[in-house]
Amino acid sequence: GGDILLSTTTDLKEWTPPQKVYTEQQDGPIPKVIANPPLELKDRWILPYWRQNPRGTGGAACQRQMHSKDHAGVLVSTDRGKTWAPRGHIVQPGAHDHAGQPGVDRLIEGALVPLGDPRAVSPPPLLQLFR
C-alpha cells in the first residue's frame, strides 16, 4: 500500500511518468491499495480501493502510528481519469484492526458490477464484492 498512481500510453511502448491520484497522506495518513481495474461507465470511471494500516510488528514502517481507520470505498473520475475523488466509507461491522480498534479486517480487493443496464441510469446501482 501507499499512493495510488496512474500512467498513460497511446502506443503501448512509451508511458507517461506516474502521477499521484490518491496519496497515502490524503484522508490519512494511511496506505491506499487497489487490486482490480476500474469499472468504466458512460460518464464516469469507478475504481475500488481500500485503506489498510500496516500489519505486523516488525520494521519501522509497521511500527509507525497511523491515525486513520481501515475502510473500503471507490475513487470516481468524471473526466476520463484526469481527476479522481474518493467516495464511500464501507466498514465491516464488528471487525477490529490490528490494534484492537473498530475497523475493517479483510474487507479488501473490491470488485464492482453494475446492477441493471448501466446506460439507463447514471450512475447505476452497483454491487461491490470483497475478499
What is the reported pLDDT for 42? 85
SS3 63: helix
For residue range 49-102, list pLDDT tens digits in order: 999 887 665 555 554 555 567 889 999 999 999 999 999 989 877 665 555 655
- What is the reported pTM? 0.81
Give me the chain's average pLDDT, please: 84
State the pLDDT at residue 4: 97
More confident residue, 35 or 123: 35
Place of cell 520494521: 59
Give the separation between CA 50 and CA 87, rounded to whole angstroms.
11
Q: What is the sign, positive or negative, of the torsion defined by CA atoms of 74, 21, 27, 102?
A: positive
User: What does the pLDDT read at residue 76?
Assistant: 97
**Cell numbers linked to 58:** 516488525
Phi, psi values for residue 114, rounded to 5°: -70, 140
Q: What is the pLDDT of residues 104-122, one digit of tens each?
A: 466 899 999 999 877 777 7
Q: Residue 9 has which C-alpha cell? A: 500510453
- Higher-confidence residue of 106 and 126: namely 126
Q: What is residue 104's predicted lDDT score, i.e. its pLDDT?
A: 44
- Output the nine-digit C-alpha cell for 42: 458512460
CA distances from 70 to 6, 43, 90 (A): 23, 29, 9
